[in-house]
Structure 1
Amino acid sequence: MTTTLRVVVDQMVTPLPNGISRYAEELTRALTQTAPKGCIVEGIVSALPPEKIAAIEERLPGLAELHRTTLPRRELAAAWQLGIVPTLGTGMIHSPSLLAPLRRHDRAFDATQMVVTIHDTLPWTHPKSLTPTHVAWQKAMVKRARKHADAIVVPTHAVAEQLAEFVDFGDRVRVIPGAVASSLTLPVDAEWRASKLDLPDEYLLTVGSLDPRRGITSLISGLGQPGAPDLPVLVLGPDTWGELSLAVVADEAGLPEGRVRALGYLSDADLAVVLARASVFVYPSLQEGFGLPLIEAFSFGTPVVHSDDPALMEVAGGAGVAVERGKKGYAERLADAVASVLGDTERTQRLRIAGQDRARSFSWRDSAERVWNLHADL
């Protein structure tokens, strides 16, 4: 008898790649590679066009089958929010997000299992970082998960503790982290890519938008203080957020024109080059669920400075330099931490080694095996 695990992989083809889309792809691929004897993995997607279906099948060659629902993503999300689950609502179902056909079921009677993933608590703690529609949808799906999910996967113990402040899932929460994407490796044409991207010989690297939660404004402001490091700052992310722009923030901080530059969204090959060549990777975010960029920077031996957000502290495991968030002086503390790394060659080398060791603590194979064990326990 064959046991089938169906994974909702619709997040793989979102308009803009994000952490959840990468998580969905990597986890599903690892699930197919670690499937126990007698088990297969199938996928569930919305009513995507044929070319996107073909792209998913190409990226996930281990899938036994890919089920296409009758509704496009927006309508499917709305239907599942209302509990309308006409098909694909039975058996073992795992969702790498909250997009799942959650409904009332009896595991003992119909062998149906429902497991969803909650990556952070931003809908409650930082709703302005999301659209009002997305906040409302996530909160509605969390309510359905509280009623119908057999288990809730979160990426860190920090998220588990934070989530418990807003929703009581009892003992159903399981911590299963992510890892660096298998495709994030240095390409053979690294020199050409560095030239194409116009990378300076030395630079600071950060990631995110100018959303206040991401802390990038604090970083730029700190670098404008007297005596702060004067390296260029490259930002993995957009140039604007609402009416704010990096140029305006940099100008207000007293930085010269062109010193802060947005790189936008890069391919994995370009991202690997940028991460590997950075003098210091700075992650000043005030709240995260996991902080994958930390692990990515660690994997290339790049020294990391990060905030003392609980999830980032947990993921970094002491391999980076933590900076106290909030309170007066966060900008100055960030600049001081960066300067302390740049000005100490021995410390930089220790951070490179510690980071690479820490990155090896996370693997998609391990995460997938934990998912299989979770479903076996259920």
Structure 2
Amino acid sequence: MPTTLTMVVDQMVAPVPGGIGRYTEEMTKALILTAPRNCQVEGIVSSLPPEKIADVETRLPGLAELHKTTLARRELSAAWQLGLVAGYGDGMVHSPTLLAPLVRHNRAYDRKQTVVTIHDTLAWTHPKSLTPTSVSFTKSMAKRAKKHADAIVVPTHAVAEQLAEIIDFGDRVRVIPGAVGSGLQLTSDAEWRAGNLELPDEYILTFGTLDPRRGLLSLISGLGATDAPDLPVLVIGPDSWGDLTLASVADEAGLPEGRVRSLGFLSDADLAVVLDRATVFVYPSIREGFGLPLVEALSFGTPVVHSDDPALVEVAGGAGLVVERGGKKGYPERLAEAIAQVLDDSDLRSRLSVAGSDRARAFSWRDSAERVWQLHADL
């Protein structure tokens, strides 16, 4: 019989899959493609209608089998927090999140191993960036992981160091990064898409929400200075966060109406066009676990300006222009100065473009999947 690695793929069908849903799909596809001889990948998902089960199976070609639990997502989460796994913790189990059948076991005798993934430490450091339910779930399952997980995957050494200050996982932490999605490519209708999105000839591109942790408030504030660059600002993300809107924040910063515009959430084909044509990509986030949008921008050779958050510095690897956060005071001005530096120096833009394309090649789903297979083999 083949050796089976079972992936918990439920994040793919979460109400808001988000970046972790994309991570789950890409990692699972890569694990299928890189499966060693006599190994296969199966999946676990919560109770879903037949059409959603079929959709998951279609998106994961080569999946040996998809196991549907008897519980819906919310009930499954509650059960697994209590350690009620109903037989789903057998064999090699890998979860791209903390949603996992974590129970007491002995790898040598039970032939069980469970690996979970912790993408960031926001539940502890920036709980207001998450829902109370998400914070509670993360902390609860992290405690179970400390007791029962055989290994914990994190995307960066920065997260590993931050996590070590919160929970002592000993030597069980492994750093395995993500990568750019396989579908993020320019298509033959790129020109039409650019017109449909009403992209300016030149623009500053950024990503995120108005959650203070994302740094967009500082970016917009900095661009309101009289000597700041005056290019349009396009935001990949929603137009509002709580009571804040991009229009109100821009107005407060003294920016003219329409200068800052939300693009919402984009398809891969549209996102590729927006990234490819941006004059500069700015990632001002105060705290990240990995920063996939930064890698996506680098992959298109778009000059990148980013904060000195440890995870972003690690991921960019010197391919972007780093801006010191240094608290709130001075950060908006420093962001605007860095953007102006890139816009005013064609040689710098060229160097950042070449360095970015080169750095992005350091991340691949194949490499990450092979490291996951090796991790389970080592266990």
Report the TM-score when normalising by structure 1: 0.99
Q: Structure 1 CA distance, aligned partners of 2:15 and 2:261? A: 23
SS of 2:264 mapped into structure 1: coil
Aligned to 1:55: 55
Aligned to 1:40: 40
Residue-pair matches, total: 378
Aligned to 2:336: 335
SS of 2:135 mapped into structure 1: helix
Question: How many angstroms does 1:16 deviate by?
Answer: 2.8
Q: Structure 2 CA distance, aligned partners of 1:263 and 1:40? A: 40
Question: How many angstroms does 1:28 deviate by?
Answer: 0.4
What is the RMSD of the two structures over their aligned residues, measured on CA atoms? 0.7
Q: Structure 2 CA distance, aligned partners of 1:51 and 1:220? A: 43
Runs of 4+ in structure 1 over 6 Å off = none
Aligned to 1:96: 96
Worse-matched range after superposition: 44-53 or 330-339: 44-53
Question: How many angstroms does 1:106 deviate by?
Answer: 1.1
Counterparts in 2 of 1:240-255, with a 5 A limit? 240-255=240-255
Aligned to 2:355: 354
Question: How many angstroms does 1:47 deviate by?
Answer: 0.5
Q: Structure 2 CA distance, aligned partners of 1:18 and 1:303? A: 25
Q: Structure 1 CA distance, aligned partners of 2:318 and 2:48? A: 43
Question: How many angstroms does 1:54 deviate by?
Answer: 0.9
Structure 2 unmatched runs, 5+: none
Question: How many angstroms does 1:2 deviate by?
Answer: 1.2
Deviations 1:52-94 (A, max 9, x none): 1111111111100000001111111111011111121111000
SS of 1:115 mapped into structure 2: strand
Aligned to 1:78: 78
Q: Structure 2 CA distance, aligned partners of 1:87 and 1:77? A: 15
Q: Structure 2 CA distance, aligned partners of 1:305 and 1:51? A: 42
SS of 1:183 mapped into structure 2: coil
Aligned to 1:119: 119
Question: How many angstroms does 1:14 deviate by?
Answer: 2.2
Q: Structure 2 CA distance, aligned partners of 1:140 and 1:363? A: 31
Q: Structure 2 CA distance, aligned partners of 1:217 and 1:125? A: 19
Question: How many angstroms does 1:19 deviate by?
Answer: 1.2
Deviations 1:112-145 (A, max 9, x none): 0000000000011000000111101100000000
Question: How many angstroms does 1:343 deviate by?
Answer: 0.4
Aligned to 1:185: 185
Structure 1 unmatched runs, 5+: none
Counterparts in 2 of 1:133-172, with a 5 A limit? 133-172=133-172
Aligned to 1:374: 375
Question: How many angstroms does 1:17 deviate by?
Answer: 3.7
Q: Structure 2 CA distance, aligned partners of 1:230 and 1:51? A: 48
Matched, 1:15 2:19: no
SS of 2:198 mapped into structure 1: coil
SS of 1:263 mapped into structure 2: strand
- Which amino acid is 2:341 matched to? S
Q: Structure 2 CA distance, aligned partners of 1:17 and 1:141? A: 19
Percent of pairs with identical residues: 75
Question: How many angstroms does 1:50 deviate by?
Answer: 1.3
SS of 1:332 mapped into structure 2: helix
Question: How many angstroms does 1:18 deviate by?
Answer: 1.3
Q: Structure 1 CA distance, aligned partners of 2:167 and 2:89? A: 24
- Which amino acid is 2:194 matched to? A
Q: Structure 1 CA distance, aligned partners of 2:264 and 2:16? A: 11
